[in-house]
Amino acid sequence: MEGREVYLDNSATTKVCKAALEAAVLGMEKEYGNAASLHKKGWEAQKLLDAAKKGFARLLGCEEQELYFTSGATESNNLSILGGVVGAKRRGRRVVTTTMEHASVLACMEELEAQGYEVVRIGPKEDGGFDPADFYSAVDENTVLVSCMMVNNETGLLFPVEEIGRAVKRKNPQVLFHVDAVQGFMKLPLSLKRSAIDLLSASGHKIFAPKGIGLLFIRKGVRIKPLFFGGGQQNGIRVGTENVPLASAFYAAAEELAKNRKEHYALYEMLKSRLLERVGEIPEVSVNSKDSCVPYIVNLSVAKIRSEIMLHYLEQFGIYVSSGSACSKGAKSHVLAAFGYPAERIDTALRVSFSPETTIDDIDYFAEKLKEGSTSLMKMK
């Protein structure tokens, strides 16, 4: 079909949904005041901001005062980790994380190491899953923070974050537990009320809101040292004029996803099973995502065809996928390496990620072109 577009890179970013777009336009065109202004325009903006925080608090089972808007999950992760350890400096200098984190967490860990912190990185078990007992063992009386993602962005691996958090707290209740929830946010159930999570990061552009808006949950009583200093907005934790249009858009997108979460999940399961069935017919394809991975991210390798070559081949037909994670732009995947896959499998990996708009027809089209590519590109070798 001429001009057909099949966007299967929703873990990299998403198209902005109508509800988010409308909310952003309202906050930019009509109710565009500065939330700190004392007049009616300011009050209108403050109302939008309050509604977004209140809405998120309801969706997440926390209090409005525990939520902060940031510029994205990179900032939320930095603030949680770098700000969290400073807040807990007197308690110790050891931090625990995993080998599969996003670059924005990995880089914070490297920064902490440069500052003299000891960083312990936990890897997966032989079956690819993470064991809460390993976190229990890694935490000691000198540990100040544990950071673990909810869903891996490259493979869809689901981390048992609640169990990990409980194991961590059992060993040392003082430890701050941070979760990078970006790839699970509004797709998986999450309730912070009785959770072991102290800090949680999320990003708007992964859930059909615009880029440049993020959320950070900081549990009441947890001390975080701000990274920026300025006008005292958001309790001084995250200063700078609040981005009301995008905060409002973020909540509008979240609300819609939350409403349809179960239907979307069922759709993703159906799409994944169709995809696995179809790529199972291509002998060159191996699936890198494990059974325990979420259904909306599937990582696979096509023998002997480098990721970028296949990615651009598919692009000719309007199919968009990713080679590993979009953020690492072609760098060798540390995630697939942590799974123990050989170099050839890592160099040929593709990530396919769905949205609620993805159809069975899209999957069949993708599988058909992948099959064609795997034979025609081999011939060109």
List interacting residues with ligand PMP (CB under 6 A). 72-74, 102, 104, 149, 153, 180, 182-183, 203, 214, 327
- Identify the CA nearest to 168 among candidates 191, 148, 189, 188: 148
Label the pairing between strands 349-353 and 94-98.
Answer: unpaired
Place of tokens 């995947």: 333
**Active-site annotation holder among 62, 108, 148, 327:** 327
Q: Which of 307/374 has CB closer to ligand PMP?
A: 307
CA angle (260 as vertex; 68, 366 as ends), nearest 5 = 105
| List of E strands, 6-128 | 6-7, 67-70, 94-98, 118-122
Q: How far is the CB of 147 from ligand PMP (least distance, A)?
A: 11
Can you tell me whether residue 292 is helix, strand or coil? coil
Q: How far is the CB of 160 from ligand PMP (least distance, A)?
A: 16
Q: How far is the CB of 212 from ligand PMP (least distance, A)?
A: 8
Burial 62-75 (b: 16+ CB within 10 A, else e): beeebbbbbbbbbb
Cα separation, 187 vs 127, whole angstroms: 24
Work out the angle between the directed axes of helices 18-25 and 244-259 (0-180°, nearest 10): 150
Q: Which of 66/180 has CB closer to ligand PMP?
A: 180
Q: Which residues contact 313 (CB under 8 A, 6 or more apart)?
A: 369, 373, 376, 377
Label the pairing between strands 199-203 and 143-149.
Answer: unpaired
Q: Which of 195/203 has CB closer to ligand PMP?
A: 203
Q: Which of 74/374 has CB closer to ligand PMP?
A: 74
Q: How far is the CB of 148 from ligand PMP (least distance, A)?
A: 11
Residue with CB nearest ligand PMP? Answer: 72
Q: How far is the CB of 170 from ligand PMP (least distance, A)?
A: 26
Q: How far is the CB of 326 from ligand PMP (least distance, A)?
A: 6
Q: Is 327 a catalytic residue?
A: yes
8-state DSSP, 151: B
Please state, as a whole number, how many other Cβ atoms lie within 10 Å of the Cβ of residue 178: 32
Q: Which of 182/218 has CB closer to ligand PMP?
A: 182
Q: Which of 206/345 has CB closer to ligand PMP?
A: 206
Cα separation, 111 vs 350, whole angstroms: 30
Q: Which residues form the catalytic set?
A: 327
